[in-house]
Chain A
Amino acid sequence: MQWADDGIVLGVRRHGEASTIVELMTRGHGRHMGLVRGGSSSRMRPILQPGNTVTATWRARLDEHLGNYTLEGARLRSSLFLGASHAIYGLTHLAALTRLLPERDPHQEIYEILESILERLEDVDQAGPLVVRYELMLLAELGFGLDLSQCAATGATSELVYVSPKSGRAVSRDAGAPWQDKLMRLPAFFMDEELEKPPATDVADGFEITGFFLARHLFEPRGLEVPEARRQFIAAILRAQPSAA
């Protein structure tokens, strides 16, 4: 068995003294692990950092084997993240989220979006909305997408300002008014994909919604806690945009 593909490094584990097991999010083969012989060497360590894009060749005798990777660095961007707290927490959180995808299950759109987010993660104004949108996309990809197309109560398609924590569907201003303290505020940038730099309060509201549904549908059923890096990432971006605090 052999294939070649692009991949984003999600994590690296030492295996013995010289080798490493590398977890990649690949373009066409999903989240995929493999053994890198000599992965602990000084030549390979800078390449095998989370967030870097590599070109990978995977070889194994049988498809179900762990297999061996031969990797070459294609876009070594992890050093860009080391100095900025929001970027490094964001990277850790994105890797933890991507790890929720089943192994070896192709999700090409997720790969493309992840690649594009990593290119812009350094920009503290864009990082928050990008990660919220990634969380929404991941929920949808795993079958727990929010339905924000129309009001769950009236079918209205305008003035959608709430999300029901019960159904994960949008609720219009009029229909939601009597239960507004039980509903979550729907930020405008969820409905407008072109809006790149929404206000910090909207970003905080967005994280509240995605955090609730991530915990309910993805983390709690697996016996996992929402990663600490997510809380630290949100704190870091809100520190940089203090109007939401």
Chain B
Amino acid sequence: MPAAVAGPEIERLIQLLARLPGLGPRSARRAALHLIKKREALMAPLGAALAIAMEKIEVCKTCGNIDTQNPCTVCTDDRRDASIIVAVADVADLWALERAHAVNSRYHVLGGTLSPLDGIGPQDISIDALVSRAHGGEVKEVILALNATVDGQTTAHYITDLLHDAGVKVTRLAHGVPVGGELDYLDEGTLTAAIKQRTLF
């Protein structure tokens, strides 16, 4: 085992950075060195930002989004259409839809998808809260923006079954050819889904 080249504080910083997605031990070492070199310009504000985020970030009690206020910015925005809820598996999916400006509605973050293999059942994700929001009276449509995977669509069907008596329209995202996609390079499953869900032109 190579001898440590820095003190325990720096080694600890490198170890923690290496736990971030996309960073291995080598890139963590580079990031740590960069932070140390830019101690005043980067490390101090980063440390302060992390401390504030740690203190203030909360999970929205309405939709499960993360924000520094509760209810979150999305839930308190009056310009959004409150009659539509977009159900997503994760906060990353909410952010992706917001980046695309695809829909001006409220959201519901489930916190995962049903996965028997990983032992994730309906009680482990926020399905009950979504169902009670849909029964609230204000909601007219629930859009199930879940992954086009077996786990994602199992979750979508499960939620659809629970919402059948809620009097709301339940829709899901279309599956098929992505923008810029060339048919020759698409897998058979995507092509089959695209043909099955073809629309009038």
The 8 Å CB contact of B189, one of A13, A52, A83, A85, is A52
B contact residues, range: 20 to 34
Q: Which residues of chain B come closer than 8 Å to A113, judged between CB atoms?
A: none
| Cα separation A133 to B187 with both chains bound (whole Å) | 32
Question: Closest residue of chain B to A79, judged by CB?
Answer: B189
- B158 part of interface (Cβ distance < 8 Å): yes
The answer on a CB contact under 8 Å between A228 and B122 is yes
Stretch at the interface among A89-97, A178-186, A196-204: A89-97
Contacts of B154 in A (CB 8 A): 88-89, 92, 229
Complex Cα distance, B150 from A78, in Å, reads 7
Pick out which of these stretches binds chain A: B8-16, B41-49, B86-94, B190-198. Answer: B190-198
Find out whether the CB atom of A95 lies under 8 angstroms from the CB atom of B187. Answer: no
Question: What are the residues of chain B within 8 A of A12 when measuring CB–CB?
Answer: 117
Do A49 and B189 have beta carbons less than 8 Å apart? yes
**Interfacial residues of chain B within 1-32, with CB under 8 A of chain A in the complex:** 21-22
Which residues of B are found within 8 Å of A46, using beta-carbon distances? 187, 189-190
B175 touches A79 (CB 8 A): yes
Known: A46-B187, A73-B188, A89-B154. A79 touches B193 (CB 8 A): yes
Instruction: Tell me the complex Cα distance, A79–B44, Å.
Output: 50
Contacts of A95 in B (CB 8 A): 116-117
What is the CB-to-nearest-CB distance from B21 to chain A, in angstroms, rounded to a whole number?
A: 6
- Indicate whether A91 sits within 8 Å of B121 (C-beta atoms), given known contacts A73-B188, A232-B161: no
With A and B bound together, what is the CA distance between A76 and B186 in angstroms? Answer: 12
User: B55: CB under 8 A from chain A?
Assistant: no
Give chain A's interface residue range (CB within 8 Å of chain B).
Answer: 20 to 34
B135-160 interface code vs A (CB 8 A; 1 in, 0 out):
00000000000001110011001101
A51 at the interface (CB under 8 A from B): yes
Chain A residues near B189 (CB-CB < 8 A): 46, 49, 52, 76-79
Is A63 in contact with chain B by the CB < 8 A criterion? no
On whether the beta carbons of B118 and A228 are closer than 8 Å, the reply is no
Residue numbers in B under 8 Å from A81 (CB-CB): 150, 153
CB contacts under 8 Å to B, within A1-48, are 11-13, 17, 23, 45-47
A88 with B150: CB separation less than 8 A = yes
Asked if A140 is at the interface of the complex by the 8 Å CB criterion, the answer is no
Q: A46-B189, A88-B150 are in contact. Are A228 and B157 (CB under 8 A)?
A: no
Given contacts A79-B193, A227-B116, contact A92 B160 (CB under 8 A): no
Kindly state the separation between the CA atoms of A47 and B186 in the bound complex, as whole angstroms: 11
Tell me the B169-201 residues at the A interface (CB within 8 Å): 175, 187-190, 192-193, 196-197
Q: Which residues of chain B in 100-151 are interfacial with respect to chain A, using CB atoms and an 8 Å cutoff?
A: 116-118, 121-122, 148-150
A242 to B193, CA, bound (A): 28
B196 touches A17 (CB 8 A): no
Cβ–Cβ < 8 Å partners of B193 in chain A: 79, 82-83
Which residue in A79, A88, A96, A228 is a CB contact (below 8 Å) of B192? A79
CA distance A80 to B154 in the complex (A): 13
* A-B contacts besides A51-B150, A76-B189, A79-B188, 7 pairs, CB < 8 Å: A49-B150, A49-B189, A76-B188, A78-B189, A92-B150, A92-B154, A229-B154
List 9 tightest A-B contacts by C-beta distance, closest first: A79-B189, A11-B117, A76-B189, A85-B157, A46-B187, A82-B153, A79-B193, A76-B188, A50-B150
